[in-house]
Amino acid sequence: MTDLPVVLDQVSVAIGGRPILRDVDLTVHAGDMVTLLGPNGSGKSTLVRALTGLLPLARGSVRLFGTPIEDFSAWHRLGFVPQRSTATGGVPATVREVVASGRVGRRRLLRPTSAADRRAIESALDVVGLSDRASYGVSQLSGGQQQRVLIARALAGEPDLLVLDEPTAGVDLPNQQALADALRRLKQRGATIVLVAHEIGPMMPLIDRTVVMRDGWVAYDGPPLTQEVASHTHHPHDHDLPGGHDHAPHVSSPFDWERRSRP
């Protein structure tokens, strides 16, 4: 099983000396869509930044497609949509240029844009509903629209592994549906998707697995959960006994204890 898209083994991350992730194990299987849920500050963004190589590990290891991340070079296989930020604000580039930059990893050096590049760029713009604004400057767009530009950039790269950090924050329902449709198409092509979300909405039917973070731990790893049910899961240290006091025993007892029952 050397080609598992993501394997985190006992990953711990500290920021400014403060432990943020603690002994996180996570395996994502090829073609799966996994959502990371959990309250604000539980470590979801830190987890995806660690698995995309953006943060150093204090302990543990990350493997992407079977390769230790420190040796990994096939970055064109990875698409990453960071949490909404001002990263694109003030950039003197058009929407189409930013989306086209998502193809860079797929293109051969100094080759002109191919028909396949152009198709991927136009399709990505269409999916996020920005075809009619393709020639606008990115800084002319609203924050939500800028987020959609970043999503389109990642989609244009046709990644094998797409990691999205709260892509639907500030995106209206029709565009959430459009994003869900895009992710479905990507999934049908065999891509693996890791999605950090607060609201699952139209993505729910696509989800194969849910991981719930709490205080830097994996509190649940199993069949898909809605945000509402996920908010009732607890991390292993919340209880003294397996299956102990629990607001949602039907979801939390077998999973909260996975860590402790492991040999």
40: contact with ligand ATP by CB under 6 A = yes
204: helix, strand or coil: helix
Tell me the H-state helices in the chain. 44-51, 95-101, 115-127, 143-156, 173-188, 227-230, 249-256, 258-261
**Which two tokens mark 73?**
């070079």
Where in the chain does DSSP place strands (E)? 6-15, 18-28, 33-37, 59-64, 67-68, 78-81, 161-165, 192-196, 209-214, 217-222
Closest among 230, 149, 158, 155 to 196, alpha carbons compared: 230
16: contact with ligand ATP by CB under 6 A = yes
43: contact with ligand ATP by CB under 6 A = yes
Binding piece for ligand ATP, criterion CB under 6 A, among 39-47, 121-129, 186-194, 240-248: 39-47
Does residue 155 contact residue 124 with C-beta atoms inside 8 Å? Answer: yes
Interface pick for ligand ATP out of 6, 35, 38, 57 (rule CB under 6 A): 38
161: contact with ligand ATP by CB under 6 A = no
Site string for ligand ATP, 193-222 (x = CB under 6 A): --------------------x---------
42: contact with ligand ATP by CB under 6 A = yes
Size of the site for ligand ATP (CB under 6 A): 12
Q: How far apart are CA 68 and CA 81, in angstroms?
A: 22
Binding piece for ligand ATP, criterion CB under 6 A, among 13-21, 89-97, 98-106, 237-245: 13-21
84: contact with ligand ATP by CB under 6 A = no
Determine the angle formed by the axes of helices 173-188 and 115-127, rounding to 10 degrees. Answer: 140
52: contact with ligand ATP by CB under 6 A = no
State in angstroms the smallest separation of the CB of 45 from ligand ATP.
3
Interface pick for ligand ATP out of 5, 26, 33, 45 (rule CB under 6 A): 45
Of the pair 126, 221, the CB lying nearest ligand ATP is at: 221
Interface pick for ligand ATP out of 35, 46, 146, 210 (rule CB under 6 A): 46
Angle formed at CA 161 by CA 115 and CA 57, multiple of 5 degrees? 135
Q: Which parts of this chain interact with ligand ATP (CB under 6 A)?
A: 15-16, 20, 38, 40-46, 213
